[in-house]
Amino acid sequence: MKLLIVTLGSRGDVQPYVALGRGLKAAGHQDTICTSPIFQSFVTQHGLNYGYMNNELIQLIDSDAGRDAIENTDNLWGAVRTTIKLFKRVKPMYRQTLHDIWQTAQAVDPDVLLLASKAAILAESIADKQSIPLLMSMPFPQFVPSAQAPSMGFPDLKLGAWYNRLTYRIVHWTVGLYSGIPNEFRHHVLQLPPKSKHLSILHRADGIPIPQLHCYSQQVVPRPTDWPDWATVNGYWFLDQPDDWQPSAALKTFLDAGEPPIYIGFGSMAGRLPQRLAKVAIEALQVTHQRGILATGWGGLQTSHLPETIFKLDQVPHAWLFPHVSAVVHHGGAGTTAAGLRAGRPTIICPFLGDQPFWGRQVHALGAGPQPIPQKRLTMKTLAQAIREVTGNSDMRDKAEALGARLRAEDGIGNAIAIIETLSD
C-alpha cells in the first residue's frame, strides 16, 4: 500500500508522521511525506520518500509578523485578531501549497491520503479526485464535537453540553472562513463540483465521515464517550533514536559531572526576545542552585558566558535526553510534552499559543507538573518557584514516573497502522 502523508508546521508537526511512516514501512508499506523542504533530509534520513511543499508558511511564522503573532496569541480573541491580521498574506500561500500537494499526489499516485494539521486538511479534495481513502490526524482534540469537554483552546467554563458543543461549531466556522480556497481549487484545478457548505470539515464531499486518528494517549486526554466510532485515540507516535546513537563527549561529560540537570527549551517559540528567555532561564537555575541544560532550538535562544552548571545544547533527541534529566521546562508543544511525560519527568509548561496552554492544564491536572506559566508571566521568580516545586514535591515526581511507565507500555503507532490497513481491505 502506498501512502501520502501531508503535514505542515514546525518539527513537532512533522516528527510524529516520520515515526508513523517508519512503522508503516516496517509493516511493508511505501510512504511519502509531503512537507516543507527544510525537513527533506529529516524525512529521507529515516528511509522515507519526500514530497515537495513550498516553505512560505514556515517563513511567515519566522518573520517579524509571525513572531509578533506568537507573542500576542495567548488566548482565543488574540488568535482571532491574528487570523484577521494575517489573512490576506496567508491566502495566496494556501493556494500555492494546495498546488504543491497536488503535484506531489499526482507523482506518488497513493492508495491512501493522510492529512495532518489544520492547514493540511484543506487538501481533502485531492482524495476525491484520486478516488482513494482519506484520513485526518490531529495531535490534540479540536475538531470532533463532544458534549463532555470544550474544543482545545477554549476555557473549560463548566457550563454544560451546550457550551461544549458550541466551541466546536466556532472552530468549524473559523476553518470555514478558508473554504473558498479549496472550493476554488476543486473547481479550477481538480475540475470537481464544490463541496456543500452544509458539510463540516469532518465529512467528504459525498457526506461520508473522514476517519480521525488522534496521536496522543488516553492516559493524558481520555477519549470522550460520545465520539463516533470513526474518531479514535491511538496513543503517541514516538520517534526513537537509532540504537547506535551516541551523545557528544561534552554532553556526556556534563551529565556525568553531577546531579541530573533540568532541561529548558522553547523550540521554535522563542519569539522576538530570545535573549530575555535565556536570561530568565539562567537566573532561575542559579537562584535555585540547579544544574541545567539550555536548548537553543529553532527559536535561537542566545547564550554566552554560561556558568559551568549550565550546558548549551543545540539538538539531541528528546527520547534519549529526557530520561537523563530531573525535570523538563518547555513551551508545551504536543511532541515535547509527550516526550517529557513518557520519560516520567515532572514538566513545567510555559505556553505561548495554540494547544500549548491546553497541554499545560492537562499536565497539571494529572499531577505531573505545576500550574503552567504563560509566557507573559514568565519571570525569574515564577520559573524559580516552579523549579522548586518540581524538585521538592515527591508526590509530583511519583505521579510523573507512574504516568511515564504507562505511556511506555503503549503502542500508538501499531494501533494507528491497524486502522490504516483496514482501508485497503
Rounded distance between C-alpha atoms, residue 269 and residue 391, angstroms: 25
Three-class SS of residue 328?
A: strand
Residue (of 82, 70, 53) closest to 268 by Cα position: 70
Work out whether the CA dihedral 408, 410, 412, 413 comes out positive or negative.
positive
Work out whether the CA dihedral 366, 368, 370, 372 comes out positive or negative.
negative
Q: Quick check: do 2-236+410-422 and 249-408 share a fold? A: yes
Rounded distance between C-alpha atoms, residue 295 and residue 258, angstroms: 19
Residue (of 260, 304, 98) closest to 182 by Cα position: 98
Q: What is the pLDDT along the chain (425 residues), one digit of tens a residue?
A: 999 999 987 788 899 999 999 999 999 999 999 999 999 999 999 999 999 998 877 776 666 655 565 555 445 555 555 555 666 667 777 888 889 999 999 999 999 999 986 666 778 899 999 999 999 999 989 899 999 999 887 888 889 999 999 998 888 887 776 677 888 888 889 999 888 877 888 899 889 999 999 999 999 999 999 999 999 999 999 998 766 778 899 999 999 999 999 999 887 665 556 778 888 999 999 999 999 999 876 555 556 678 889 998 887 888 899 999 999 999 998 889 999 999 999 999 998 877 889 999 999 999 999 999 998 899 999 999 999 999 999 999 999 999 999 999 999 999 999 999 998 65
Per CATH, is 2-236+410-422 categorized as 3.40.50.2300? no
Residue (of 362, 349, 329) closest to 152 by Cα position: 362
Number of neighbours of residue 413 by Cβ within 10 angstroms = 24
Task: Look at residue 269 in the predicted model and tell me its pLDDT.
Answer: 62
Rounded distance between C-alpha atoms, residue 409 and residue 199, angstroms: 38
Place of cell 491546553: 358
Rounded distance between C-alpha atoms, residue 11 and residue 156, angstroms: 29
Task: Look at residue 407 in the predicted model and tell me its pLDDT.
Answer: 97
**Where do the structural domains in the chain lie, given as residue ranges?**
2-236+410-422, 249-408
Bridge partners (DSSP) of residue 243 are: none
Rounded distance between C-alpha atoms, residue 190 and residue 132, angstroms: 14
Write the single-letter amino acid at 290. Answer: Q
Number of neighbours of residue 235 by Cβ within 10 angstroms = 23
Q: Kindly report the pTM of this predicted structure.
A: 0.88
Helix (H) or strand (E) holding 218: none
Q: Which residues touch 199 (CB under 8 Å, ≥6 apart)?
A: 205, 207
What DSSP string runs through 12-61?
HHHHHHHHHHHHHHHTT-EEEEEE-GGGHHHHHTTT-EEEE--SHHHHHH
Rounded distance between C-alpha atoms, residue 268 and residue 128, angstroms: 34
Three-class SS of residue 226?
A: coil
Q: Which residues touch 220 (CB under 8 Å, ≥6 apart)?
A: 338, 341, 362, 366, 403, 407
C-alpha dihedral over 246, 269, 238, 156, to 10 degrees? 150
Please give the CATH topology (third level) of the domain spanning 249-408: Rossmann fold (3.40.50)
Residue (of 160, 395, 385, 424) closest to 283 by Cα position: 385
